Amino acid sequence: MVKLYAADASNTVIAGVRDTSTASKLDELAKTSKAKIHLVKILAGDAENNKAAADEVEKLVGKVDVLWANAGESCRAEFGSNLLFC
């Protein structure tokens, strides 16, 4: 999704990642992109981190026009002798 928005120089993308130091592909895209891309550490279950991330985004861009939250959740369950992932 970031690649799609990165192709337009009028876009600014905030890419929320768990660890900015390991997001090398996004970091490389940020360096070569037409759009402005900022990597921000966001931990979905951490309220304190979410507040810090919101403050950082506000400093970077001010008002946010579009927010796309795409956090996943996974589960693991045993069914008889099988291990299921859902």
Structure confidence by residue, pLDDT tens digits, 27-69: 999 999 999 999 999 987 889 998 999 999 999 999 888 888 7
Report pLDDT for 68.
81
Please check whether residue 80 lies inside any domain of the structure: no
Domain that holds residue 64: 2-71
* 12 inside domain: yes
For residue 15, is it within any domain? yes
Within a domain: 82: no
Provide the strand spans (E) within the chain. Answer: 12-17, 36-41, 76-79, 82-85
Q: What is the domain count for the chain?
A: 1
Please determine, for residue 86, whether its predicted confidence score (pLDDT) is greater than 60: no
**79 within some domain:** no
